[in-house]
A and B are shown apart, each in its own frame.
Chain A
Amino acid sequence: MKQFLEGSFAVAEGAKLCKPGVVSAYPITPQTHIVERLADFVATGSLNAQFVNVESEHSAATVVLGACAAGVRVFTATSSQGLIYMSEVLFNIAGMRFPVVMVCANRALSAPINIWNDQQDAVSLRDSGWVQVYAENNQEALDFVLQAYKLGENPKIMLPIIVNMDGFILTHGMETVDVPANELVDKFLPPYKAPYKLDVENPMSFGLLGDPTVYIETRYALHKTLEDCLSMIPQVGKEFEATFGRKGLDLVELYKVEDAKTVIVAMGSVCGTIKDYIDTQREEGKKIGLLRIVSYRPFPKEKVYEALKKIPKVLVLDKSISLGSEGPLYTEVKSVFANKKPKVSGFVAGLGGRDITIETIKDMVDISRKKEVRCEFLGLRPELLKEDFYVGI
């Protein structure tokens, strides 16, 4: 049924449709509306789940780990500092191979404290072993939650997944969203059957000490499974499309790339803005396209290479920065073309909620006409860049 929903409520509806047995979360802006709505569902009885109000994000992640280990489908959501506070547990969940699903309302990291959107939080956890997908709009955010369980709970995968949605821009933005019918979701996503779990009928030990004779193999297995997701993600997307009649999860989205002379690479909601810019440019005969990274982990190197190998100019837009290096997405895109064409330029923008407007995109393209850049910040305010500014706010 189509509803006019803010993104937080859309993903809460999505989570409810998946019938998690245990939900645990700790409040942090801009994630709060998601878990408030889930608490409402539990309070009114429309969701039969245990809602565990924990004392920290560290415990939220641990509670869903414990519940998932006991064989129950789980859900959590967080953002920014909360995600970083969870990070110890998140590496642990991936290593223990439990299919936890989490929504991250992407937000900047302190200091200075900043509640607005960028993608530094989740990008900083790229090496944690979680699958990471980035939604462009509220419909995708909801749909990705359904598909995340489908992917993660596959006995051949057994991995946790972060569904990323830009804080405020999506979490608090209203859009028309098709909330699928219960029966269709039940058909697409059967109840979770854990291939291994804590069970007094069949006692097993989990979380053992892995010494140097076994540790590296567990990491290799994790990495290989993430690579397997490169084929599983589009497959889950196709199953989704067959059931719900709209496009499902994929590794990347190509927008007017085929004949493009310039292609922008980006993730998340800013891709909507970029598409609008491309449309206006196309009317003027300028051949620009977009490669949207949907799956950041695993990173679809082959897809990126195939899509961009004949493109003369590629502009990578990062909403995070690997401080001391460059935009992380830029690094990855460039690595695909080591010693190959095309020219790859990297840009960083939108940190801490600074708007990325059509003007920003235009700046990016203008700069690229003059030079090839590696880590160019867009939309900086030169008046702030005084010597004393570097000491801190």
Chain B
Amino acid sequence: MSESDNGHFEEYMFVSGHTACAGCGQSLAARIVADCAGKNAMVANATGCLEVFSTKAPESAWRTPWIHSLFENSSALASGMEAALRYLGKIDNTRVIAQGGDGGTADIGIQALSGMLERGHDVLYVCYDNEAYMNTGIQRSGLTPLTASTTTSPLGAKMHGNWRNKKPLIEICAAHFIPYAATASVGYIQDLQRKVKKALSIRGPKYIQIHVPCPLGWGHDSNLTIDIGKSAVLCGLYPLVEYEFGKLANVFKVPTPKPINDYVKAQSRFKHLLKDEAALKSLQEVANKNIEYYGLNK
């Protein structure tokens, strides 16, 4: 995109030219986060797809100040940036965003994330949850859903995909009694925008976890990213919730939750569920528990 092509160029903080796959949910979510934050923000980015496809030297898709250090430390990196801005007296005018994928957040980065939340830094942490280590080739993470097949939770005579449920990371973050913790989805853009703007209006540590379908890793057509995002919410597998100071404050209602069948049918990572009734049932149970726990249909 050149400036002459689009009069609004100045408003875009994450621009085209990067090398994300077609239909990448993460690049879409990252653009929305960056644009909501605007010019007066700086970003600390964990190692992962987003970092690799957006900043291959000497190019960068970022029009806000942006820094990548390592895989597990974007929370600590943002903590340092925030401390520096505080020292410089610029923290009131500058938003700090830390971001990473689900592996960089829920697994290798959880210690640094917990430290950042506990210390109360004025940082918004954004986890782009595509439910596996996509950058290294679709390996299982702590946020991979039950039954999903990945390259390290493959299908075989003795293994039937991922054997553990998703780590309840939103509750773990909320349990730090931070002002705001929310889940969102690229299936619901306006809801996502509202949550990012709300988070950025609050001082102190914030956490948003965004469900971002990955056509390559999930095995779905690249034109289905938004639909699949919606489908996960509507069957109860990805509840959209907001926590304020540790208490559940708001839930995206799903009055008549759909069975998970349509959701899993569109993705090759779940294709074995169509022939494995017990496995399908176990994942439906996860959705049922979510519906009950969050009162999605009440």
Knowing A52-B83, A70-B84, A214-B57, the reply to whether A65 touches B115 (Cβ < 8 A) is no
Question: A205 and B70: CB pair below 8 A?
Answer: no
Q: Which residues of chain B come closer than 8 Å to A209, judged between CB atoms?
A: 51-52, 55-57
Question: B76 and A58: CB pair below 8 A?
Answer: yes
Rounded to whole Å, the gap between the CB of A90 and the closest CB of chain B is 11
Q: Give chain A interface residues in 322-344, CB to chain B under 8 Å.
A: none
Knowing A203-B62, A209-B52, the reply to whether A65 touches B39 (Cβ < 8 A) is no
Question: A66 and B114: CB pair below 8 A?
Answer: no
A62 contacts partner chain B, Cβ-Cβ < 8 Å: yes
Q: Give chain A interface residues in 121-166, CB to chain B under 8 Å.
A: none
* Size category of the binding interface on chain B: 35 or more
Question: A62 and B57: CB pair below 8 A?
Answer: no
Q: How many A-B residue pairs have CB under 8 A?
A: 153
A69 contacts partner chain B, Cβ-Cβ < 8 Å: yes
Question: A88 and B80: CB pair below 8 A?
Answer: no
Instruction: Give the interface of A toward B (CB within 8 A).
Output: 21-22, 24, 48-50, 52-56, 58-59, 62-72, 74, 88-89, 92, 96, 198-200, 203-211, 214
Rounded to whole Å, the gap between the CB of B35 and the closest CB of chain A is 14
Q: Which residues of chain A come closer than 8 Å to B69, judged between CB atoms?
A: 62, 65-66, 89, 92, 96, 207
Q: Which residues of chain A come closer than 8 Å to B40, judged between CB atoms?
A: 200
Knowing A209-B56, A210-B57, the reply to whether A198 touches B67 (Cβ < 8 A) is yes
Which of B69, B81, B111, B112 has most chain A Cβ within 10 Å?
Answer: B69
> Which residue of chain A is the closest to B78 with respect to CB atoms?
A66
Stretch at the interface among B86-94, B160-168, B266-274, B275-283: B86-94
Q: What string of 1s and 0s marks CB contacts (under 8 Å) between B24-67 and chain A?
A: 00000000000000011110110000011001111010111111
Of the candidates A63, A92, A205, A214, the one whose C-beta lies within 8 Å of that of B80 is A63
Question: Can you offer 30 A-B residue contacts whose CB atoms are under 8 A?
Answer: A21-B84, A21-B87, A22-B87, A52-B83, A52-B119, A55-B112, A56-B112, A58-B73, A59-B73, A59-B76, A59-B112, A62-B69, A62-B70, A62-B77, A62-B79, A63-B79, A67-B81, A67-B83, A68-B80, A69-B67, A69-B84, A89-B69, A203-B62, A206-B68, A207-B68, A208-B55, A208-B57, A209-B56, A211-B56, A214-B57
Knowing A58-B73, A66-B81, the reply to whether A200 touches B42 (Cβ < 8 A) is yes
Q: Which residues of chain B come closer than 8 Å to A53, judged between CB atoms?
A: 119
Q: Which residues of chain A come closer than 8 Å to B84, judged between CB atoms?
A: 21-22, 50, 66-72
Question: A89 and B70: CB pair below 8 A?
Answer: yes
Question: B88 and A21: CB pair below 8 A?
Answer: yes
Question: A66 and B44: CB pair below 8 A?
Answer: yes
> Which residue of chain B is the closest to A205 with respect to CB atoms?
B60
Q: Which residues of chain A come closer than 8 Å to B75, judged between CB atoms?
A: 59
- In the bound assembly, the distance between CA atoms of A354 and B228 in angstroms comes to 64
Q: Which residues of chain A come closer than 8 Å to B72, judged between CB atoms?
A: 58
Question: A72 and B88: CB pair below 8 A?
Answer: yes
B85 contacts partner chain A, Cβ-Cβ < 8 Å: yes
Question: A70 and B88: CB pair below 8 A?
Answer: yes
Rounded to whole Å, the gap between the CB of A194 and the closest CB of chain B is 10
Knowing A50-B86, A56-B111, A200-B94, the reply to whether A62 touches B60 (Cβ < 8 A) is no
Question: A203 and B65: CB pair below 8 A?
Answer: yes
- In the bound assembly, the distance between CA atoms of A200 and B65 in angstroms comes to 6
Task: List 15 additional A-B contacts (Cβ < 8 Å) besides A62-B79, A69-B67, A205-B66.
Answer: A21-B88, A22-B83, A50-B84, A54-B79, A55-B115, A62-B112, A65-B80, A66-B78, A66-B80, A66-B83, A70-B81, A70-B85, A89-B69, A199-B65, A209-B57
- In the bound assembly, the distance between CA atoms of A21 and B77 in angstroms comes to 15
Instruction: Give the interface of B toward A (CB within 8 A).
Output: 39-42, 44-45, 51-52, 55-58, 60, 62-70, 72-73, 75-81, 83-88, 94, 111-112, 114-115, 118-119
- In the bound assembly, the distance between CA atoms of A361 and B121 in angstroms comes to 52
> Which residue of chain A is the closest to B13 with respect to CB atoms?
A203
Rounded to whole Å, the gap between the CB of A237 and the closest CB of chain B is 30
* Interface SS of A by simple majority: mixed
Rounded to whole Å, the gap between the CB of B123 and the closest CB of chain A is 10
Rounded to whole Å, the gap between the CB of A212 and the closest CB of chain B is 11
Q: Which residues of chain B come closer than 8 Å to A52, judged between CB atoms?
A: 79-80, 83, 119
- In the bound assembly, the distance between CA atoms of A92 and B71 in angstroms comes to 11
- In the bound assembly, the distance between CA atoms of A55 and B79 in angstroms comes to 12
- In the bound assembly, the distance between CA atoms of A206 and B80 in angstroms comes to 15
Knowing A203-B64, A209-B57, A214-B57, the reply to whether A198 touches B111 (Cβ < 8 A) is no
- In the bound assembly, the distance between CA atoms of A199 and B42 in angstroms comes to 8
Q: Which residues of chain A come closer than 8 Å to B41, judged between CB atoms?
A: 200
Q: Which residues of chain A come closer than 8 Å to B57, judged between CB atoms?
A: 208-211, 214
Q: Which residues of chain A come closer than 8 Å to B76, judged between CB atoms?
A: 54, 58-59, 62-63, 66
Knowing A52-B119, A58-B72, the reply to whether A69 touches B81 (Cβ < 8 A) is yes
> Which residue of chain B is the closest to A23 with respect to CB atoms?
B83
Question: B115 and A54: CB pair below 8 A?
Answer: yes
9 closest Cβ contacts across the A-B interface? A66-B80, A55-B115, A70-B84, A207-B68, A62-B76, A205-B60, A63-B80, A59-B76, A67-B84
Q: Which residues of chain B come closer than 8 Å to A22, judged between CB atoms?
A: 80, 83-84, 87
> Which residue of chain B is the closest to A53 with respect to CB atoms?
B119
Rounded to whole Å, the gap between the CB of B50 and the closest CB of chain A is 11
